[in-house]
């Protein structure tokens, strides 16, 4: 397909106007940027600066009274995100909250949901999970007195394969049976781009008496999710990737409705999880908010919430259904362009639909680290992961078919020079 063909496809895109809502980075070459790093850090929504400045002005105008005065008082500010998060992951509003950072939330929820016994103590994860997840589950196992080498079970693809087979994953859960305490998987694997059948995994985990929890760092804002209907026990996600909240953006957490008022569920507690009607009475006894907000520890960072609000307004307008439809079209076009234009030079590690989101993980036969640098020099933003993977994501909120066409042609130029 030609550049004209790509532009014709973009003209038919009902979401094409959302691209104008974002700030694209400058390039050293002076060329128009090709930004394909939304899986690592999303672009800045133009309204993020406006919304953050609003709260800076409120701080200056009201001082401490900004918690209660102004257009968006700070005391309930996180509630501006609740409805958007519920729509984002397919949840009830009482099941979602914006708080902390991703691994902090993972630890807080494992405090509640990883309750090992002498016989049921194992945690099932992916062998090539993001390192922070591995550190978290290992440390949780040690905290409870178990050796991670025995407690943490890493499931690998079959020899010579890049992806976990669904039947192998479900069979592993069955085989672990009464020894399995927790299934803790990523939504989309950060290195292969493979996404997992959450509903089937959750059902299988529950059938053997285990808990199902997930890291949605590469899923929230990327995949169409229905966490409540799938009866997922808990989930966590960050907001600086697909959700465009900025570096270190505030994270999200989900706890299924069935667990919210459990008296037997342990939880670390802080004053922001206290019953809102008596929070400022500063009493000694904790009276939990009857929602996932009970897991909050401290008042959240307002400026981070402001930038996240700017992005979530765009998600609400575009809808996850619409974004997923566009995402599948863009990534399928990207896949076709790679197979047509780069045959013999690049293999696609990421599996085909429906086992993926928008990201493609590409294995280059020669010099991928060097090529990543050369691509950046030409205005292409992708990233390299050891030992031989370049990741590239056409994010449906702001990427286009033309972007993809230009990126693939840039790949060809770099290869030709090499």
| 361 beta partners | 391
Cα of first residue to Cα of last residue in the chain, in angstroms, is 24
pLDDT reported for residue 379: 92
Name, in order, each residue with C-beta under 8 angstroms of 159's C-beta and a sequence gap of 6 or more.
none
Residue 274, classed as helix, strand or coil, is strand
Q: What percent of the chain has pLDDT over 90?
A: 87
Average pLDDT over the chain reads 95
Burial of 383 (0-12, 13-18, 19+ CB in 10 A): middle
Mean pLDDT, residues 223-237 taken together: 98
Q: How confident is the model at residue 303 (pLDDT cuts 50, 70, 90)?
A: very high
pLDDT reported for residue 417: 76
Per-residue model confidence as pLDDT tens digits over 186-196: 989 988 999 99
**H/E run at residue 81:** helix 79-89
Q: How confident is the model at residue 386 (pLDDT cuts 50, 70, 90)?
A: confident
Q: How confident is the model at residue 113 (pLDDT cuts 50, 70, 90)?
A: very high
Asked whether the whole model's pTM tops 0.85, one would answer yes
Task: Using the predicted structure, report yes or no on whether residue 246 has a pLDDT greater than 80.
Answer: yes
Task: Using the predicted structure, report yes or no on whether residue 234 has a pLDDT greater than 90.
Answer: yes
At which residue do the structure tokens 């680290």 appear? 369
CATH 3.90.1150.10 boundaries in the chain = 3-32+319-417
Per-residue model confidence as pLDDT tens digits over 116-168: 999 999 999 999 888 999 999 999 999 999 999 999 999 999 999 989 999 99
- 54-317: in CATH 3.40.640.10: yes
Mean pLDDT, residues 336-359 taken together: 93
pLDDT reported for residue 172: 98
Burial of 71 (0-12, 13-18, 19+ CB in 10 A): exposed
Task: Using the predicted structure, report yes or no on whether residue 378 has a pLDDT greater than 80.
Answer: yes
Mean pLDDT, residues 211-224 taken together: 97
| 335 beta partners | none
Q: How confident is the model at residue 31 (pLDDT cuts 50, 70, 90)?
A: confident
| 348 beta partners | 362
Fold classification of 3-32+319-417 is 3.90.1150
Higher pLDDT, 160 or 318: 318
Task: Using the predicted structure, report yes or no on whether residue 418 has a pLDDT greater than 80.
Answer: no
Sheet holding 152-155, edge to edge: 96-98, 252-255, 234-237, 211-215, 180-186, 122-126, 152-155
pLDDT reported for residue 66: 98
Q: How many angstroms separate the CA atoms of 260 and 90, rounded? A: 17
Q: How many angstroms separate the CA atoms of 348 and 359, rounded? A: 11
pLDDT reported for residue 369: 77
Q: How many angstroms separate the CA atoms of 86 and 108, rounded? A: 20
Q: What percent of the chain has pLDDT over 70?
A: 100
Task: Using the predicted structure, report yes or no on whether residue 344 has a pLDDT greater than 90.
Answer: no
Name, in order, each residue with C-beta under 8 angstroms of 356's C-beta and a sequence gap of 6 or more.
188, 193, 194, 195, 331, 350
DSSP class of 24: P
């Amino acid at each position: 397909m030609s550049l004209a063909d790509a532009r014709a496809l973009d003209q038919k895109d009902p979401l094409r106007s959302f691209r104008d809502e974002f700030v694209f980075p400058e390039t050293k070459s002076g060329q128009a940027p090709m930004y394909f790093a939304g899986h690592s850090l999303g672009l800045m929504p133009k309204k993020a600066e406006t919304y953050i400045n609003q709260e800076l002005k409120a701080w200056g105008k009201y001082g401490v009274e900004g918690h209660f005065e102004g257009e968006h008082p700070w005391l309930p500010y996180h509630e501006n995100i609740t409805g958007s998060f519920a729509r984002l992951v397919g949840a009830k509003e009482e099941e979602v909250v914006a708080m902390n950072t991703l691994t902090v939330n993972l630890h807080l929820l494992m405090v509640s949901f990883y309750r090992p016994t002498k016989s049921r103590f194992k945690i099932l994860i992916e062998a090539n999970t993001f390192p922070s997840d591995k550190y978290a589950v290992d440390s949780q196992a040690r905290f409870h007195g178990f050796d991670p080498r025995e407690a943490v079970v890493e499931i690998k693809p079959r020899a010579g394969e890049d992806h976990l087979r669904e039947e192998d994953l479900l069979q592993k859960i069955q085989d672990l049976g009464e020894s399995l305490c927790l299934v803790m998987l990523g939504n989309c694997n950060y290195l292969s781009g493979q996404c997992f059948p959450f509903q089937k995994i959750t059902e299988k985990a529950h059938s053997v008496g285990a808990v199902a929890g997930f890291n949605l760092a590469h899923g929230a804002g990327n995949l169409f999710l229905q966490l409540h209907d799938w009866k997922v026990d808990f989930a966590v996600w960050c907001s600086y990737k697909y959700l465009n909240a900025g570096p270190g953006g505030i994270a999200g957490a989900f706890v299924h409705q069935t667990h919210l008022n459990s008296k037997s569920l342990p939880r670390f507690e802080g004053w922001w999880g206290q019953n809102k009607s008596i929070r400022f009475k500063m009493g000694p006894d904790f009276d939990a908010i009857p929602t996932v907000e009970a897991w909050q520890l401290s008042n959240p960072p307002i400026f981070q919430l402001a930038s996240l609000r700017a992005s979530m307004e765009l998600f609400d307008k575009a809808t996850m259904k619409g974004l997923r439809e566009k995402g599948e079209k863009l990534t399928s076009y990207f896949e076709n362009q790679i197979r047509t234009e780069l045959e013999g030079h690049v293999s696609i590690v990421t599996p085909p639909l429906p086992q993926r989101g928008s990201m493609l993980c590409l294995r280059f036969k020669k010099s991928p680290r060097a090529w990543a640098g050369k691509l950046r020099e030409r205005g292409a933003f992708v990233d390299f992961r050891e030992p031989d993977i370049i990741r590239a994501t056409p994010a449906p909120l702001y990427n286009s078919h033309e972007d993809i066409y230009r990126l693939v042609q840039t790949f060809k130029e770099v290869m030709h020079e090499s």
